[in-house]
Amino acid sequence: MNILTIPFRNIRRRPSKSLLLLLVFTLGVMSIVTLYQVSRVVGVSLEKKLIAYGANVIVSPATEKLSVSYGGFHMGDMLFDIQNLPEEETVAAIRNIKMSDRISVVAPKLVTMAKIDDVAVALVGVQWTQERALKSYWATGGSFPAAKSDSPAPGLSNEILLGSRVAGMLGLAAGDSVAILGRNFSVSGVLYETGTDDDTVLFMELESLQALLGTPNATSFIEVAALCSGCPIEEIVDELRAALPGTEIKALQHVVDQRMASVHFVQNLALTISLVILVTAAAMVGLSMMAAVNERKKDIGILRSLGYGKPQIFTIFCLEAGLIGAIAGALGYLGGFGASFKVLQLLAMAEGGTPVFSAAHLLMAIVAFALITILAAIYPAAKGASVEPSTALVAL
C-alpha cells in the first residue's frame, strides 16, 4: 500500500467509466501506432517502387579532366588516363557495405563506341536483371533479351536491345540481325521512346561486350539505387567511398530529394493525423479528469483532513491519468501492431516491408502515453490540489 493504491483502486471502482476512458485512449494510441507502422511500410514500399525510375548513386573511376583551348578556340574537355572499374570486386564491395540492406539495385555498365554500317553508335553492356529492376518504365516492341541466368543457351548472349532512335538510324527492327565488332547479334526488341539517353544507345549483355572488347571483368561505371528512408544518402555515399577508394561516388541529390518527398509526404500525413488523434484523446482525458476532480471534492476533503498536502493531491490525479495512459500505451501499441498487418493487407501496399515489433518501442509507447495523459491531467490535477480543505468540507 502506497499513494499508487488510491488512483489504482479508484480506477477499479468505476470499471465502466474507467474502461470507456481506457478504450478511447487505447483506440487513439492504436490508430497512431497503426498509422506509424503503415506509413513506415508504405514509405519503404513506395521507395522501392520509385527505385524503378532510376539510380540515385553513380560509382565511376576517378578520372582527370583537362580543358583544352588553343588560340582562342575551345576544344572541349579532354579525359585522360581513363580506367575501368573491376566489375566483380566493385559490385562485391558495394553489396558488402555496413548499410548493405539499404542497397537495392547495383547495375554495372560498360560503354564504348562502335561503327555499325558506318553509323557511330554507343554500345552499352548491362546486366539485364539489374538494369530492368532500375528501369521498369522500359517497354519494347519485341521482347527483352533473356538475362544471363535465364538464358537456356550456354556461352555468351547474342541478343541486343536497341534504343528507338538508334533503331531508326540503323533501320533495324525486332528479329533482324546485325554485325557488331565482327560478331553477329539478333535484335530481340526496340525500346519505345523514353525521352532519355536510352533512345540513342544499343544495349547488350555486359559479358558479351566485355568479350568483344577483350576487357573481361571491366565496367565503365555502376549505377546504384539506394533506399534513403532509413538514413541520409550522405551516409551511404560515405560508406561507399570508404569501401571503394580511388573511385568517384556521386549522389544524384535531386533524384533522392524527389523520392524522399514522396516518402515524406506519406509519413507527414500520418504524423499530422496522429497528432490530431493524440490531441483529441488527450483532451478527452483532460475533460474526464476535470469531471473527476469536481466529483471527488469529498475525497479531497477527507485526504486534506488527514494531512495530504497539495502536492499529494496533485500526484494522485496525475498518477490516475498516467496509469490510464500507460495501460492504453501498452494495449494500443500491441493492438496497433496487429491492426497494421490487416490494414496493409487491405491496402495491398506491404510490398518490400512488414510492420516491425520492437520491445523498446513498446516501452517508449507506455512511457510516452503515460506522460501525455499526465500532461493532459496537469490542469485538472492542479485545480483539484488547489481546493482548500474548507471548500472541500462543504461537500462533506
| Helix, strand, coil share (%) of the chain residues, nearest 5 | 55, 20, 25
| Cβ-based nearer residue to another protein, 14 or 342 | 14
Is residue 1 near another protein by the rule CB under 8 A? yes
CA pseudo-torsion sign 332, 334, 337, 339: negative
Q: Is residue 305 a contact point for another protein (CB under 8 A)? A: yes
Q: Which residue in 50, 218, 303, 331 binds another protein (CB under 8 A)?
A: 303
User: Should residue 308 be labelled a site residue for another protein when binding is judged by CB under 8 A?
Assistant: yes
- Given the DSSP bridges, would you call strands 201-205 and 119-126 parallel, antiparallel or unpaired? parallel
Least Å from the CB of residue 311 to another protein: 9
Least distance from another protein to the Cβ atom of residue 325, Å: 18
Binding mask 13-32 for another protein (x = CB under 8 A): x-------------------
Q: Give the residue carrying C-alpha cell 536510352.
A: 198
Is residue 114 near another protein by the rule CB under 8 A?
no
Q: Segment contacting another protein (CB under 8 A): 111-119, 242-250, 295-303, 366-374?
A: 295-303
Stretch that binds another protein, among 45-53, 165-173, 177-185, 303-311 (CB under 8 A): 303-311
Per the CB < 8 A criterion, the answer to whether 208 and 128 are in contact is no
* C-alpha distances in Å from residue 18, one per residue of 13, 14, 103, 222, 305: 9, 6, 49, 61, 27
Q: At its nearest, how many Å lie between another protein and the CB of residue 387?
A: 12
361-380: contacts with another protein (CB under 8 A): none
If one asks whether residue 302 binds another protein (CB under 8 A), the answer comes out as yes
Do the beta carbons of residue 87 and residue 148 sit within 8 Å? no
Q: Does 183 bind another protein (CB under 8 A)?
A: no
CA distance 278 to 273: 9
Question: Does 4 help bind another protein (rule: CB under 8 A)?
Answer: yes
CB 185 within 8 A of CB 123: no
Residue 109's Cβ-side half-sphere holds a number of Cα atoms within 13 Å equal to 23
Where on the chain is the footprint of another protein (CB under 8 A)?
Answer: 1-6, 9-10, 12-13, 298-299, 301-310, 312, 389-390, 393, 395-396
